[in-house]
Amino acid sequence: MQHNSANPEFAVVIVGRGPVGATLANLLGLCGVRTLVLEREARTYHLPRAVHFDDECMRVFQTIGLAEDILPHVILSPGMRFLDAEGRLMLDWPRSQDLTPMGWHLSYRFHQPDLEDILINGLRRWPQVELRNRCDVFALDEDEGGVRVRYEDLSNGQLSEVRAAYVVGCDGARSLVRRVIGSGMDDLGFHERWLVIDALLKRERPDLGDYSIQHCDPRRPATYIRGTGNRRRWEITVHPDEETQGMMQPGKVWELLSQWIAPDEAEIERAAVYTFHSAIAQQWRNGRLLLAGDSAHQTPPFLGQGMCAGIRDVANLAWKLRDIIAGRADASLLDTYQSERSPHVREFIELAIRLGGVINTKAIEAGLAAGEARENAPVKLEVRKPLLGRGLAIGDLPLGGHLAPQFMLSDGRRSDDRIGYANVLLVERTGALSQAAYSALAQSGIEVLTSRDAEDLGRWLREHDIKAALIRPDRYVRGAVRTELELNQLIANVCTGNHVPTAA
Protein backbone atom coordinates (compact mmCIF):
# COMPACT_ATOMS: atom_id res chain seq x y z
CA MET A 1 0.00 0.00 0.00
CA GLN A 2 1.45 3.31 -1.06
CA HIS A 3 -0.03 5.37 1.76
CA ASN A 4 1.49 3.36 4.58
CA SER A 5 4.35 5.69 5.45
CA ALA A 6 2.34 7.65 8.01
CA ASN A 7 -0.21 4.88 8.44
CA PRO A 8 -3.44 6.80 7.85
CA GLU A 9 -6.46 5.27 9.56
CA PHE A 10 -8.54 5.84 6.45
CA ALA A 11 -7.52 5.48 2.84
CA VAL A 12 -10.13 8.08 1.90
CA VAL A 13 -12.01 10.71 3.90
CA ILE A 14 -15.02 12.16 2.09
CA VAL A 15 -16.16 15.59 3.27
CA GLY A 16 -19.92 15.86 2.70
CA ARG A 17 -22.60 13.24 2.37
CA GLY A 18 -24.81 14.82 -0.28
CA PRO A 19 -25.72 12.63 -3.27
CA VAL A 20 -22.18 12.86 -4.65
CA GLY A 21 -20.34 12.02 -1.42
CA ALA A 22 -22.78 9.21 -0.65
CA THR A 23 -22.35 7.70 -4.14
CA LEU A 24 -18.57 7.91 -3.84
CA ALA A 25 -18.73 6.21 -0.43
CA ASN A 26 -20.81 3.39 -1.94
CA LEU A 27 -18.36 2.98 -4.82
CA LEU A 28 -15.38 2.90 -2.43
CA GLY A 29 -17.28 0.46 -0.20
CA LEU A 30 -17.76 -1.78 -3.24
CA CYS A 31 -14.00 -1.55 -3.84
CA GLY A 32 -13.27 -2.46 -0.21
CA VAL A 33 -11.49 0.86 0.40
CA ARG A 34 -11.38 1.98 4.04
CA THR A 35 -13.43 5.18 3.93
CA LEU A 36 -14.76 7.74 6.40
CA VAL A 37 -17.55 10.15 5.49
CA LEU A 38 -17.78 13.31 7.59
CA GLU A 39 -21.04 15.27 7.31
CA ARG A 40 -21.99 18.46 9.10
CA GLU A 41 -25.75 17.85 9.17
CA ALA A 42 -27.62 15.29 11.28
CA ARG A 43 -29.76 14.04 8.43
CA THR A 44 -30.54 14.35 4.73
CA TYR A 45 -31.29 17.87 3.50
CA HIS A 46 -35.07 17.54 3.40
CA LEU A 47 -36.00 20.14 0.81
CA PRO A 48 -36.23 19.25 -2.86
CA ARG A 49 -33.48 20.29 -5.21
CA ALA A 50 -32.68 17.97 -8.13
CA VAL A 51 -35.68 16.43 -9.90
CA HIS A 52 -34.06 14.73 -12.89
CA PHE A 53 -31.27 12.26 -13.50
CA ASP A 54 -30.28 10.31 -16.58
CA ASP A 55 -29.52 6.79 -17.79
CA GLU A 56 -25.80 7.10 -17.09
CA CYS A 57 -26.48 7.97 -13.43
CA MET A 58 -28.85 5.04 -13.11
CA ARG A 59 -26.06 2.85 -14.44
CA VAL A 60 -23.82 4.08 -11.63
CA PHE A 61 -26.60 3.34 -9.13
CA GLN A 62 -26.83 -0.15 -10.69
CA THR A 63 -23.07 -0.54 -10.17
CA ILE A 64 -23.42 0.19 -6.47
CA GLY A 65 -26.33 -2.25 -6.25
CA LEU A 66 -29.04 0.32 -5.53
CA ALA A 67 -30.91 0.71 -8.83
CA GLU A 68 -33.65 -1.71 -7.76
CA ASP A 69 -34.15 0.24 -4.51
CA ILE A 70 -34.34 3.52 -6.43
CA LEU A 71 -36.76 2.37 -9.16
CA PRO A 72 -39.94 2.50 -7.02
CA HIS A 73 -39.16 6.15 -6.24
CA VAL A 74 -38.81 7.42 -9.81
CA ILE A 75 -41.06 8.08 -12.78
CA LEU A 76 -40.07 8.35 -16.43
CA SER A 77 -40.05 11.75 -18.02
CA PRO A 78 -41.67 12.09 -21.45
CA GLY A 79 -39.57 15.18 -22.20
CA MET A 80 -39.62 18.96 -22.27
CA ARG A 81 -41.54 21.46 -24.39
CA PHE A 82 -40.74 25.13 -24.93
CA LEU A 83 -43.80 27.33 -25.41
CA ASP A 84 -43.76 30.97 -26.49
CA ALA A 85 -45.67 33.71 -24.67
CA GLU A 86 -48.83 32.78 -26.65
CA GLY A 87 -48.49 29.12 -25.68
CA ARG A 88 -47.27 27.99 -29.12
CA LEU A 89 -44.82 25.11 -29.24
CA MET A 90 -41.39 26.43 -30.25
CA LEU A 91 -39.09 23.58 -29.39
CA ASP A 92 -39.77 19.96 -28.59
CA TRP A 93 -37.36 17.80 -26.62
CA PRO A 94 -39.00 14.39 -26.30
CA ARG A 95 -37.30 11.67 -24.27
CA SER A 96 -37.62 8.18 -25.64
CA GLN A 97 -39.53 5.75 -23.42
CA ASP A 98 -37.36 2.88 -24.64
CA LEU A 99 -34.25 1.65 -22.90
CA THR A 100 -31.12 3.43 -24.11
CA PRO A 101 -27.82 1.69 -24.87
CA MET A 102 -27.00 2.28 -21.17
CA GLY A 103 -29.68 -0.31 -20.34
CA TRP A 104 -31.82 2.29 -18.57
CA HIS A 105 -34.18 5.13 -19.47
CA LEU A 106 -33.00 8.49 -20.68
CA SER A 107 -34.71 10.64 -18.11
CA TYR A 108 -35.96 9.91 -14.61
CA ARG A 109 -37.85 12.24 -12.30
CA PHE A 110 -37.18 11.83 -8.61
CA HIS A 111 -37.20 13.59 -5.25
CA GLN A 112 -33.62 14.28 -4.12
CA PRO A 113 -34.18 13.47 -0.41
CA ASP A 114 -35.60 10.01 -1.39
CA LEU A 115 -32.49 9.27 -3.42
CA GLU A 116 -30.13 10.51 -0.71
CA ASP A 117 -31.83 8.31 1.91
CA ILE A 118 -31.35 5.23 -0.30
CA LEU A 119 -27.71 6.09 -0.93
CA ILE A 120 -27.07 6.62 2.78
CA ASN A 121 -28.86 3.42 3.81
CA GLY A 122 -26.80 1.63 1.17
CA LEU A 123 -23.64 2.47 3.12
CA ARG A 124 -24.62 -0.02 5.83
CA ARG A 125 -23.64 -2.84 3.44
CA TRP A 126 -19.96 -1.90 3.48
CA PRO A 127 -18.00 -2.76 6.62
CA GLN A 128 -15.08 -0.65 5.34
CA VAL A 129 -17.18 2.53 5.21
CA GLU A 130 -18.01 4.65 8.24
CA LEU A 131 -20.35 7.66 8.29
CA ARG A 132 -20.09 10.27 11.05
CA ASN A 133 -22.91 12.81 11.01
CA ARG A 134 -22.82 16.20 12.71
CA CYS A 135 -19.10 16.43 12.07
CA ASP A 136 -17.98 19.76 10.65
CA VAL A 137 -14.57 19.62 8.97
CA PHE A 138 -12.65 22.84 9.59
CA ALA A 139 -8.99 22.13 8.72
CA LEU A 140 -6.97 19.96 6.35
CA ASP A 141 -3.18 19.73 6.58
CA GLU A 142 -1.33 17.68 4.03
CA ASP A 143 2.12 16.20 4.56
CA GLU A 144 4.22 13.56 2.80
CA GLY A 145 2.33 10.60 4.22
CA GLY A 146 -1.25 11.78 4.22
CA VAL A 147 -3.73 14.43 5.29
CA ARG A 148 -4.64 15.44 8.82
CA VAL A 149 -8.39 16.08 8.87
CA ARG A 150 -9.67 18.11 11.80
CA TYR A 151 -13.37 18.36 12.58
CA GLU A 152 -15.79 19.41 15.28
CA ASP A 153 -18.42 16.98 16.51
CA LEU A 154 -21.37 19.38 16.60
CA SER A 155 -23.32 17.12 18.96
CA ASN A 156 -20.91 17.83 21.84
CA GLY A 157 -18.48 20.49 20.58
CA GLN A 158 -15.56 18.10 20.79
CA LEU A 159 -12.66 18.58 18.37
CA SER A 160 -11.25 15.45 16.76
CA GLU A 161 -8.91 14.47 13.99
CA VAL A 162 -8.22 11.57 11.66
CA ARG A 163 -5.55 10.86 9.08
CA ALA A 164 -6.32 9.93 5.51
CA ALA A 165 -4.32 9.05 2.43
CA TYR A 166 -6.75 11.07 0.28
CA VAL A 167 -9.52 13.57 0.99
CA VAL A 168 -12.35 14.16 -1.46
CA GLY A 169 -14.35 17.35 -1.02
CA CYS A 170 -17.96 16.51 -1.86
CA ASP A 171 -18.82 19.50 0.27
CA GLY A 172 -20.99 21.45 -2.13
CA ALA A 173 -20.81 24.86 -3.73
CA ARG A 174 -19.22 26.62 -0.76
CA SER A 175 -16.55 23.94 -0.44
CA LEU A 176 -13.91 24.16 2.29
CA VAL A 177 -11.77 21.61 0.44
CA ARG A 178 -11.76 23.85 -2.65
CA ARG A 179 -10.57 26.75 -0.49
CA VAL A 180 -7.77 24.63 0.98
CA ILE A 181 -6.76 23.46 -2.51
CA GLY A 182 -6.64 27.17 -3.36
CA SER A 183 -8.63 26.78 -6.54
CA GLY A 184 -10.37 29.71 -8.17
CA MET A 185 -13.49 29.24 -10.30
CA ASP A 186 -13.83 29.80 -14.05
CA ASP A 187 -16.97 31.87 -14.38
CA LEU A 188 -19.06 30.79 -17.39
CA GLY A 189 -21.12 33.95 -17.14
CA PHE A 190 -24.60 32.85 -16.05
CA HIS A 191 -25.83 34.17 -12.69
CA GLU A 192 -29.58 34.60 -12.32
CA ARG A 193 -32.06 34.60 -9.47
CA TRP A 194 -34.97 32.19 -9.85
CA LEU A 195 -37.82 31.56 -7.46
CA VAL A 196 -38.15 27.79 -6.95
CA ILE A 197 -41.59 26.69 -5.73
CA ASP A 198 -42.33 23.13 -4.71
CA ALA A 199 -46.03 22.38 -4.40
CA LEU A 200 -47.89 19.30 -3.19
CA LEU A 201 -51.16 18.83 -5.05
CA LYS A 202 -54.24 18.37 -2.83
CA ARG A 203 -56.27 17.04 -5.76
CA GLU A 204 -55.55 15.58 -9.19
CA ARG A 205 -54.59 18.07 -11.89
CA PRO A 206 -53.87 15.88 -14.93
CA ASP A 207 -54.18 18.94 -17.18
CA LEU A 208 -50.85 20.22 -15.83
CA GLY A 209 -49.29 17.35 -17.75
CA ASP A 210 -46.25 15.13 -17.47
CA TYR A 211 -44.02 17.08 -19.82
CA SER A 212 -41.74 19.70 -18.38
CA ILE A 213 -42.81 23.02 -19.84
CA GLN A 214 -40.55 25.98 -20.43
CA HIS A 215 -42.77 29.05 -20.62
CA CYS A 216 -40.60 31.28 -22.80
CA ASP A 217 -42.47 34.44 -21.96
CA PRO A 218 -40.09 37.38 -22.09
CA ARG A 219 -42.15 39.12 -19.39
CA ARG A 220 -41.54 36.33 -16.88
CA PRO A 221 -39.82 33.12 -18.09
CA ALA A 222 -40.85 30.10 -16.02
CA THR A 223 -40.46 26.34 -15.89
CA TYR A 224 -43.02 23.73 -14.84
CA ILE A 225 -41.84 20.25 -13.85
CA ARG A 226 -43.95 17.28 -12.90
CA GLY A 227 -42.34 15.61 -9.91
CA THR A 228 -42.97 12.20 -8.39
CA GLY A 229 -46.33 11.51 -6.65
CA ASN A 230 -48.22 14.74 -6.06
CA ARG A 231 -45.11 16.93 -6.31
CA ARG A 232 -45.07 19.76 -8.85
CA ARG A 233 -42.29 22.31 -9.29
CA TRP A 234 -42.31 25.80 -10.75
CA GLU A 235 -39.14 27.79 -11.30
CA ILE A 236 -39.83 31.43 -12.06
CA THR A 237 -37.40 34.20 -13.02
CA VAL A 238 -36.86 37.03 -10.56
CA HIS A 239 -36.39 40.44 -12.19
CA PRO A 240 -33.28 42.41 -11.24
CA ASP A 241 -35.34 45.11 -9.47
CA GLU A 242 -37.33 42.59 -7.38
CA GLU A 243 -36.37 41.97 -3.79
CA THR A 244 -35.53 38.39 -2.87
CA GLN A 245 -37.52 38.36 0.40
CA GLY A 246 -40.64 39.83 -1.18
CA MET A 247 -40.68 37.12 -3.87
CA MET A 248 -40.92 34.36 -1.27
CA GLN A 249 -43.97 35.77 0.54
CA PRO A 250 -47.05 33.50 0.23
CA GLY A 251 -49.15 36.26 -1.35
CA LYS A 252 -46.55 36.86 -4.05
CA VAL A 253 -46.00 33.13 -4.61
CA TRP A 254 -49.71 32.50 -5.18
CA GLU A 255 -49.98 35.55 -7.44
CA LEU A 256 -47.16 34.14 -9.59
CA LEU A 257 -48.71 30.67 -9.62
CA SER A 258 -52.23 31.90 -10.38
CA GLN A 259 -52.04 31.12 -14.11
CA TRP A 260 -51.51 27.43 -13.25
CA ILE A 261 -52.92 26.64 -9.83
CA ALA A 262 -54.97 28.05 -6.91
CA PRO A 263 -54.34 27.85 -3.13
CA ASP A 264 -57.16 25.34 -2.56
CA GLU A 265 -55.50 22.91 -5.00
CA ALA A 266 -52.03 22.64 -3.53
CA GLU A 267 -49.89 23.23 -0.49
CA ILE A 268 -46.58 25.03 -0.88
CA GLU A 269 -43.80 22.87 0.50
CA ARG A 270 -41.28 25.63 0.08
CA ALA A 271 -40.58 28.70 -2.00
CA ALA A 272 -36.99 29.88 -2.12
CA VAL A 273 -34.97 32.18 -4.33
CA TYR A 274 -31.81 30.55 -5.66
CA THR A 275 -29.09 32.29 -7.59
CA PHE A 276 -28.10 29.82 -10.29
CA HIS A 277 -24.43 30.04 -11.14
CA SER A 278 -22.28 28.59 -13.87
CA ALA A 279 -18.73 27.94 -12.77
CA ILE A 280 -15.99 25.32 -12.87
CA ALA A 281 -13.11 25.00 -10.41
CA GLN A 282 -9.75 25.67 -12.03
CA GLN A 283 -8.00 23.00 -10.00
CA TRP A 284 -9.77 19.78 -9.00
CA ARG A 285 -6.78 18.29 -7.23
CA ASN A 286 -3.84 19.40 -5.20
CA GLY A 287 -1.75 16.46 -4.03
CA ARG A 288 -3.97 14.31 -1.87
CA LEU A 289 -6.96 16.67 -1.92
CA LEU A 290 -9.64 16.35 -4.60
CA LEU A 291 -13.01 17.86 -5.48
CA ALA A 292 -16.19 16.22 -6.80
CA GLY A 293 -19.74 17.41 -7.41
CA ASP A 294 -20.89 20.96 -6.72
CA SER A 295 -17.54 21.79 -5.10
CA ALA A 296 -15.98 21.37 -8.56
CA HIS A 297 -18.74 22.79 -10.78
CA GLN A 298 -22.08 24.52 -10.70
CA THR A 299 -24.65 24.76 -13.46
CA PRO A 300 -28.03 26.39 -13.98
CA PRO A 301 -30.58 23.57 -13.63
CA PHE A 302 -32.15 23.82 -17.10
CA LEU A 303 -30.69 20.49 -18.26
CA GLY A 304 -31.07 18.79 -14.88
CA GLN A 305 -27.38 17.89 -14.94
CA GLY A 306 -25.83 19.35 -11.76
CA MET A 307 -26.01 16.25 -9.61
CA CYS A 308 -25.61 13.99 -12.64
CA ALA A 309 -22.24 15.61 -13.33
CA GLY A 310 -21.18 14.92 -9.74
CA ILE A 311 -22.24 11.26 -10.03
CA ARG A 312 -20.10 11.03 -13.18
CA ASP A 313 -17.17 12.60 -11.32
CA VAL A 314 -17.16 9.95 -8.64
CA ALA A 315 -17.67 7.06 -11.08
CA ASN A 316 -14.51 8.36 -12.80
CA LEU A 317 -12.60 8.89 -9.56
CA ALA A 318 -13.34 5.89 -7.32
CA TRP A 319 -11.58 3.18 -9.38
CA LYS A 320 -8.55 5.43 -9.85
CA LEU A 321 -8.30 5.91 -6.08
CA ARG A 322 -8.82 2.16 -5.60
CA ASP A 323 -5.96 1.29 -7.97
CA ILE A 324 -3.59 3.85 -6.42
CA ILE A 325 -4.39 2.79 -2.86
CA ALA A 326 -3.88 -0.88 -3.78
CA GLY A 327 -0.49 0.03 -5.27
CA ARG A 328 -1.56 -0.97 -8.79
CA ALA A 329 -1.24 2.55 -10.20
CA ASP A 330 0.83 5.64 -9.67
CA ALA A 331 -0.74 8.71 -8.05
CA SER A 332 -0.26 10.53 -11.39
CA LEU A 333 -3.33 8.59 -12.57
CA LEU A 334 -5.31 11.22 -10.65
CA ASP A 335 -4.15 13.83 -13.16
CA THR A 336 -6.52 12.27 -15.67
CA TYR A 337 -9.50 12.94 -13.39
CA GLN A 338 -9.82 16.68 -14.06
CA SER A 339 -8.53 16.47 -17.63
CA GLU A 340 -11.27 13.94 -18.48
CA ARG A 341 -14.15 15.33 -16.44
CA SER A 342 -13.74 19.10 -16.70
CA PRO A 343 -14.30 19.49 -20.50
CA HIS A 344 -17.25 17.07 -20.24
CA VAL A 345 -19.01 19.05 -17.54
CA ARG A 346 -18.14 22.36 -19.26
CA GLU A 347 -20.02 21.24 -22.39
CA PHE A 348 -23.11 20.41 -20.34
CA ILE A 349 -22.97 23.73 -18.48
CA GLU A 350 -22.60 25.68 -21.73
CA LEU A 351 -25.59 23.85 -23.19
CA ALA A 352 -27.62 24.54 -20.04
CA ILE A 353 -26.77 28.24 -20.41
CA ARG A 354 -27.88 28.17 -24.05
CA LEU A 355 -31.15 26.51 -23.03
CA GLY A 356 -31.55 29.17 -20.35
CA GLY A 357 -31.19 31.69 -23.19
CA VAL A 358 -34.09 30.07 -25.03
CA ILE A 359 -36.26 30.15 -21.93
CA ASN A 360 -35.44 33.79 -21.51
CA THR A 361 -36.12 34.22 -25.24
CA LYS A 362 -33.20 36.59 -25.32
CA ALA A 363 -31.31 34.33 -27.66
CA ILE A 364 -33.86 32.11 -29.32
CA GLU A 365 -31.83 31.78 -32.51
CA ALA A 366 -28.78 30.61 -30.62
CA GLY A 367 -30.85 28.06 -28.80
CA LEU A 368 -32.66 26.88 -31.87
CA ALA A 369 -29.33 26.41 -33.58
CA ALA A 370 -28.78 23.61 -31.10
CA GLY A 371 -31.80 21.81 -32.54
CA GLU A 372 -32.73 20.47 -35.92
CA ALA A 373 -34.94 22.73 -38.05
CA ARG A 374 -37.98 21.12 -39.70
CA GLU A 375 -40.37 22.81 -42.06
CA ASN A 376 -43.59 24.15 -40.51
CA ALA A 377 -42.91 22.37 -37.27
CA PRO A 378 -41.33 23.17 -33.96
CA VAL A 379 -37.62 22.59 -33.74
CA LYS A 380 -36.78 19.23 -32.24
CA LEU A 381 -33.92 19.17 -29.81
CA GLU A 382 -31.60 16.26 -29.31
CA VAL A 383 -28.78 16.42 -26.83
CA ARG A 384 -25.71 14.31 -27.38
CA LYS A 385 -23.62 13.40 -24.36
CA PRO A 386 -20.22 15.07 -24.39
CA LEU A 387 -17.05 12.98 -24.62
CA LEU A 388 -14.49 12.63 -21.88
CA GLY A 389 -11.60 15.06 -22.19
CA ARG A 390 -7.97 14.13 -22.75
CA GLY A 391 -6.83 11.45 -20.33
CA LEU A 392 -6.50 7.71 -20.39
CA ALA A 393 -7.90 7.04 -23.86
CA ILE A 394 -5.17 5.41 -25.88
CA GLY A 395 -3.66 7.23 -28.86
CA ASP A 396 -5.98 7.71 -31.80
CA LEU A 397 -7.87 4.50 -31.18
CA PRO A 398 -11.55 4.73 -32.12
CA LEU A 399 -14.31 5.45 -29.60
CA GLY A 400 -11.93 6.71 -26.88
CA GLY A 401 -13.91 8.79 -24.38
CA HIS A 402 -17.29 7.39 -25.52
CA LEU A 403 -19.58 5.46 -23.20
CA ALA A 404 -19.85 1.76 -23.94
CA PRO A 405 -23.32 0.26 -24.06
CA GLN A 406 -24.61 -2.26 -21.59
CA PHE A 407 -25.56 -5.63 -23.09
CA MET A 408 -28.17 -8.22 -22.22
CA LEU A 409 -26.29 -11.47 -21.66
CA SER A 410 -27.47 -14.81 -22.94
CA ASP A 411 -27.90 -15.92 -19.30
CA GLY A 412 -30.49 -13.14 -18.82
CA ARG A 413 -28.26 -10.87 -16.73
CA ARG A 414 -27.11 -7.40 -17.67
CA SER A 415 -23.46 -7.12 -18.56
CA ASP A 416 -22.61 -4.55 -15.83
CA ASP A 417 -23.95 -6.96 -13.21
CA ARG A 418 -21.53 -9.60 -14.41
CA ILE A 419 -18.55 -7.26 -14.85
CA GLY A 420 -18.95 -5.26 -11.67
CA TYR A 421 -16.92 -2.06 -11.25
CA ALA A 422 -14.02 -3.44 -13.28
CA ASN A 423 -12.22 -3.26 -16.60
CA VAL A 424 -13.55 -5.49 -19.34
CA LEU A 425 -12.42 -6.41 -22.83
CA LEU A 426 -15.24 -6.78 -25.34
CA VAL A 427 -14.18 -8.97 -28.20
CA GLU A 428 -15.97 -10.74 -31.04
CA ARG A 429 -14.48 -14.14 -30.22
CA THR A 430 -11.82 -15.41 -27.84
CA GLY A 431 -9.90 -16.90 -30.79
CA ALA A 432 -8.77 -13.37 -31.59
CA LEU A 433 -6.62 -13.37 -28.44
CA SER A 434 -3.19 -14.96 -28.16
CA GLN A 435 -2.55 -17.26 -25.20
CA ALA A 436 -0.13 -14.64 -23.79
CA ALA A 437 -2.78 -11.94 -24.13
CA TYR A 438 -5.30 -14.14 -22.42
CA SER A 439 -3.09 -14.80 -19.41
CA ALA A 440 -2.06 -11.14 -19.19
CA LEU A 441 -5.74 -10.18 -19.01
CA ALA A 442 -6.49 -12.81 -16.39
CA GLN A 443 -3.50 -11.69 -14.29
CA SER A 444 -4.66 -8.06 -14.47
CA GLY A 445 -8.17 -9.04 -13.44
CA ILE A 446 -9.62 -7.83 -16.75
CA GLU A 447 -12.79 -9.72 -17.65
CA VAL A 448 -13.45 -10.79 -21.23
CA LEU A 449 -16.90 -10.73 -22.80
CA THR A 450 -17.51 -12.09 -26.28
CA SER A 451 -20.40 -12.13 -28.71
CA ARG A 452 -21.18 -15.61 -27.36
CA ASP A 453 -22.00 -13.94 -24.01
CA ALA A 454 -24.16 -11.30 -25.67
CA GLU A 455 -25.40 -11.15 -29.26
CA ASP A 456 -25.65 -7.36 -29.14
CA LEU A 457 -21.99 -7.17 -28.30
CA GLY A 458 -20.95 -8.62 -31.66
CA ARG A 459 -23.40 -6.29 -33.41
CA TRP A 460 -21.95 -3.27 -31.61
CA LEU A 461 -18.38 -4.20 -32.54
CA ARG A 462 -19.33 -4.70 -36.20
CA GLU A 463 -21.35 -1.48 -36.29
CA HIS A 464 -18.19 0.42 -35.29
CA ASP A 465 -15.97 -1.74 -37.46
CA ILE A 466 -13.80 -2.75 -34.51
CA LYS A 467 -12.43 -6.08 -33.34
CA ALA A 468 -12.39 -5.35 -29.64
CA ALA A 469 -12.80 -2.56 -27.10
CA LEU A 470 -11.36 -2.11 -23.66
CA ILE A 471 -13.91 -0.62 -21.26
CA ARG A 472 -13.03 1.03 -17.96
CA PRO A 473 -14.90 0.46 -14.68
CA ASP A 474 -16.82 3.73 -15.27
CA ARG A 475 -18.03 2.21 -18.60
CA TYR A 476 -16.07 4.62 -20.83
CA VAL A 477 -14.11 3.19 -23.73
CA ARG A 478 -10.40 3.30 -23.08
CA GLY A 479 -9.53 2.16 -26.59
CA ALA A 480 -10.89 0.10 -29.43
CA VAL A 481 -8.93 -1.77 -32.08
CA ARG A 482 -9.42 -2.80 -35.69
CA THR A 483 -6.78 -5.53 -36.10
CA GLU A 484 -5.45 -8.46 -34.06
CA LEU A 485 -2.03 -6.79 -33.94
CA GLU A 486 -3.56 -3.66 -32.42
CA LEU A 487 -5.51 -5.82 -30.01
CA ASN A 488 -2.40 -7.52 -28.67
CA GLN A 489 -0.66 -4.12 -28.41
CA LEU A 490 -3.62 -2.71 -26.48
CA ILE A 491 -3.52 -5.60 -24.03
CA ALA A 492 0.24 -5.29 -23.59
CA ASN A 493 -0.22 -1.57 -22.97
CA VAL A 494 -2.85 -1.86 -20.25
CA CYS A 495 -1.60 -5.04 -18.62
CA THR A 496 1.83 -3.58 -17.91
CA GLY A 497 -0.01 -1.21 -15.58
CA ASN A 498 0.53 1.54 -18.10
CA HIS A 499 -1.85 4.15 -16.74
CA VAL A 500 0.24 6.94 -18.27
CA PRO A 501 -2.08 9.44 -19.89
CA THR A 502 -1.83 9.69 -23.66
CA ALA A 503 -3.56 11.99 -26.09
CA ALA A 504 -7.26 11.32 -26.49
Tell me which residues touch ligand FAD (CB under 6 A). Answer: 15-21, 38-41, 45, 49-53, 112, 136-137, 170-172, 176, 196, 274, 293-294, 301, 304-308, 310
Taking a C-beta distance cutoff of 8 angstroms, is the pair 82, 359 a contact?
A: yes
Helix (H, G, I), strand (E, B) or coil at 435: helix
Smaller CB distance to ligand FAD: residue 170 or 481? Answer: 170
> How would you classify the pairing of strands 35-38 and 89-94?
unpaired
Residue 104 CB, nearest approach to ligand FAD (Å): 15
Q: What distance in Å separates the CA atoms of residue 238 and residue 197, rounded to the nearest whole number?
A: 12
Q: In a 10 Å sphere around its CB, with 0-12 CB exposed, 13-18 middle and 19+ buried, how is residue 309 labelled? A: buried
501 beta partners: none
Quick one: DSSP state of residue 171?
Answer: -
Q: Within 10 Å of residue 113's Cβ, how many Cβ atoms? A: 16
Q: What minimum distance in Å lies between the beta carbon of 30 and ligand FAD?
A: 18
Q: Which is nearer to ligand FAD, 18 or 103 (CB)?
A: 18
CB of 116 to ligand FAD, least distance (A): 8
Dihedral of the alpha carbons of 485, 490, 495, 496, in degrees to the nearest 10: 90
Residues whose CB falls within 8 Å of the CB of residue 142, separated by 6 or more in sequence, listed in order: 148, 286, 287, 288, 289
Concatenate the DSSP letters of all residues of 341-406 into one string: HHHHHHHHHHHHHHHHHHHTTSSHHHHHTTSB--TTSPEEP--PPPPP-SBSS-TT-TTTTSBPP-
Shortest distance in whole angstroms from residue 58 CB to ligand FAD: 12
Q: Count of CB atoms within 10 A of residue 203's CB?
A: 8
Q: Which is nearer to ligand FAD, 17 or 344 (CB)?
A: 17
41 or 265: CB nearest ligand FAD: 41
Nearer of residues 172 and 378 to ligand FAD, judged by Cβ = 172
Least separation in angstroms between CB 346 and ligand FAD:
15
- H-run or E-run covering 175: none
CB of 49 to ligand FAD, least distance (A): 3
Smaller CB separation from ligand FAD, 74 or 449: 74
Kindly give the pairing relationship between strand 468-471 and strand 424-427: antiparallel
Q: How far is the CB of 352 from ligand FAD (least distance, A)?
A: 10
Nearer to ligand FAD by Cβ, of 147 and 446: the residue is 147
User: What is the nearest approach in angstroms of ligand FAD to the Cβ of residue 22?
Assistant: 7
- Going from the C-alpha of 157 to that of each of 15, 149, 491, the distances in angstroms are 18, 16, 54
CB-based contacts of 16: which residues, under 8 Å, 6+ apart? 37, 38, 39, 40, 169, 170, 171, 172, 293, 295
Q: CB nearer to ligand FAD: give 100 or 305.
A: 305
Q: Which is nearer to ligand FAD, 153 or 186 (CB)?
A: 153
Min dist CB 199 to ligand FAD, Å, is: 14
**Three-class SS string for 299-326?**
CCHHHCCHHHHHHHHHHHHHHHHHHHHC
Q: Which is nearer to ligand FAD, 196 or 424 (CB)?
A: 196
Distance separating alpha carbons of residues 443 and 445, to the nearest angstrom: 5
Residues whose CB is less than 8 angstroms from the CB of residue 222 and which lie 6 or more positions away in sequence, other chains included:
214, 215, 234, 235, 236, 237, 256
Tell me the C-alpha distance between 229 and 74, whole Å: 9
| Minimum gap (Å) between residue 93 Cβ and ligand FAD | 14
Task: Output the smallest distance, CB 138 to ligand FAD, in A.
Answer: 7
Shortest CB 204 distance to ligand FAD, Å: 24
Q: Given the complex with ligand FAD, which of 136 and 484 has the nearer CB atom? A: 136
What 3-state DSSP class applies to 336?
helix
**Alpha carbon 429 to its chain's center:** 33
Residue number, 213 or 419, with CB nearest to ligand FAD: 213
- Please name the amino acid found at residue 457: L
